[in-house]
């Protein structure tokens, strides 16, 4: 072994760095081992990150001669949020329930109207088939008055005698009713299976309730001990590197502040503006569509596209003009979001190239479904911030290596790359 390598391995600094690396690797390995149960913890981290500024603001305000404890600020914020959600729910939930019921009724009416249009198709198709020399007749029998006997074949004595030159006579209504009864039987069977497994359904419901309160509890613990959690991770960094680590945490905070808090703010603004536009245009199911638009806006790019489709489709039932006006309103909201809200609310530190956003969303959805798509952009923001930090550090080291010796004479200006001269998208 070369003497220099042996000296390096025996140095206290190298041994300390090795121990730190092993500790970080152990934490990563432990998290990977329990990754299947980390979803509530991930949701709690995001929720704690969103609520942290409010808790810190309450904690900073004096309570007499003392500051408000963080746990008191957290519980107070929980109480205010509960009252706000109760107030919003008491206004929006009944309206949304009415719109859901109206949507079901409208859907049944649409099916009936479509059935009336379909009833004209058999005669037209039959004429085409006869013109082509294909001896097949499509018929549309009148609707049965008795719902219990609807779709049943007629009595043997009333069955029309097929013509000799006809190969087959198909009653389209009867076939559709048969298909409908088959689907109904499948649904009834599925409901029966679900009823037989009621224990599993009850377990899933209890599991959801348990995870919901688990997330609230974990969020409260994190908000109350945010400084202790930060100090723990700082303690895993060598003392001479802690200033750089603090700078990295600040950059991660600025990036996530735009991605998480900014995106939630934009979601609420998007939902409110969508609701206002739909009410002005008198589009049906305005509250339901606006709520869906706000929820889908949690996923950048794709969420906005998906939420626009049902709005235009519902507006189209009242005419092309209303659909175009609705589409124009949605485009105006997204233009306002891209040119004003994103720069003001998210800030320049949260900018991620659209290609990176799309890649993160596609990869997250592919491997972890909707949950992966929901967490993809925040994780990409953290990864991109760490990449920029390491690249800047590498360029700084390179600049120090290429810097000329001050004791030597330099002929001409030296071209030394610096971290600020290279931009990372």
Domain borders along the chain are 35-118+221-236, 119-154+161-196, 240-273+287-306+336-402+418-425
Quote the pLDDT of residue 310: 87
HSE-CB at 265 with a 13 A cutoff on CA atoms is 16
Quote the pLDDT of residue 264: 82
Strands (E), 307-417: none
What pTM does this model have?
A: 0.60
Quote the pLDDT of residue 26: 92
Quote the pLDDT of residue 184: 67
Quote the pLDDT of residue 104: 75
Residue 17: which residues within 8 A CB-CB, separation 6 or more? 238
Residues 255-289: b if buried by 16+ CB within 10 A, e if exposed: bbbbbbbbbbbbbebbbebbbebbeebebebbbbb
HSE-CB at 80 with a 13 A cutoff on CA atoms is 10
Query: Structure tokens of 313?
Result: 């489709």
Nearest CA among 84, 88, 93 for reference residue 288:
93
Quote the pLDDT of residue 149: 45
- Main-chain phi, psi angles of 368, to 5 degrees: -130, 15
Residue 381: which residues within 8 A CB-CB, separation 6 or more? 252, 255, 256, 258, 259, 350, 352
Question: CA 335 to CA 259: how far, in whole Å?
Answer: 18
Quote the pLDDT of residue 29: 93
Please list the ranges in the chain whose pLDDT falls under 70. Answer: 1-10, 64, 111-177, 180, 184, 187-205, 341-351, 405-425
- Residue with the two structure tokens 């956003």: 357
């Amino acid at each position: 072994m070369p003497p220099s390598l042996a000296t390096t391995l025996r140095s206290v600094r190298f041994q300390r760095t090795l121990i730190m690396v092993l500790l970080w690797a152990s934490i990563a390995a432990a998290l990977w081992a329990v990754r299947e149960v980390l979803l509530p913890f991930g949701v709690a981290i995001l929720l704690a990150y969103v609520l942290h500024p409010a808790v810190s603001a309450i904690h900073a305000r004096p309570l007499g001669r003392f500051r408000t404890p963080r746990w008191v600020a957290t519980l107070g914020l929980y109480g205010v949020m509960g009252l706000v959600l109760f107030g919003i729910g008491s206004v929006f939930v009944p309206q949304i329930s009415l719109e859901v019921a109206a949507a079901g009724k409208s859907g049944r009416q649409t099916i009936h109207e479509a059935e009336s249009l379909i009833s004209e198709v058999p005669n037209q198709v039959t004429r085409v088939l006869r013109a082509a020399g294909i001896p097949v007749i499509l018929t549309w029998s009148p609707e049965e008055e008795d719902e219990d006997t609807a779709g049943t074949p007629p009595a043997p004595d009333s069955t029309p005698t097929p013509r000799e030159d006809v190969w087959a006579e198909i009653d389209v209504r009867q076939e559709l009713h048969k298909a409908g009864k088959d689907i109904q039987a499948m649904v009834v069977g599925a409901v029966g299976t679900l009823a037989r497994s009621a224990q599993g359904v009850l377990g899933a419901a209890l599991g959801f309730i348990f995870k919901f309160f688990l997330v609230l509890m974990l969020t409260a613990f994190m908000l109350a001990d945010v400084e202790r959690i930060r100090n723990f991770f700082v303690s895993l960094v060598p003392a001479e590197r802690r200033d750089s680590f603090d700078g990295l945490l600040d950059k991660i905070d600025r990036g996530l502040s735009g991605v998480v808090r900014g995106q939630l703010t934009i979601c609420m603004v998007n939902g409110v503006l969508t609701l206002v536009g739909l009410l002005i245009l008198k589009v049906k199911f305005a509250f339901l569509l606006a709520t869906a638009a706000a929820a889908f806006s949690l996923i950048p790019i794709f969420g906005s596209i998906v939420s626009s489709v049902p709005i235009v489709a519902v507006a189209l039932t009242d005419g092309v003009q209303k659909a175009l006006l609705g589409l124009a309103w949605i485009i105006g909201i997204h233009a306002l979001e891209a040119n004003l809200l994103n720069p003001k609310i998210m800030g320049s530190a949260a900018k991620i190239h659209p290609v990176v956003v799309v890649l993160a969303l596609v990869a997250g959805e592919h491997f972890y479904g909707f949950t992966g798509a929901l967490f993809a952009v925040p994780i990409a923001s953290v990864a991109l911030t760490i990449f920029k930090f390491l690249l800047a550090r590498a360029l700084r080291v390179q600049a120090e290596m290429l810097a000329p010796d001050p004791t030597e004479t330099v002929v001409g200006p030296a071209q030394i790359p610096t971290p600020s001269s290279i931009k990372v998208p």
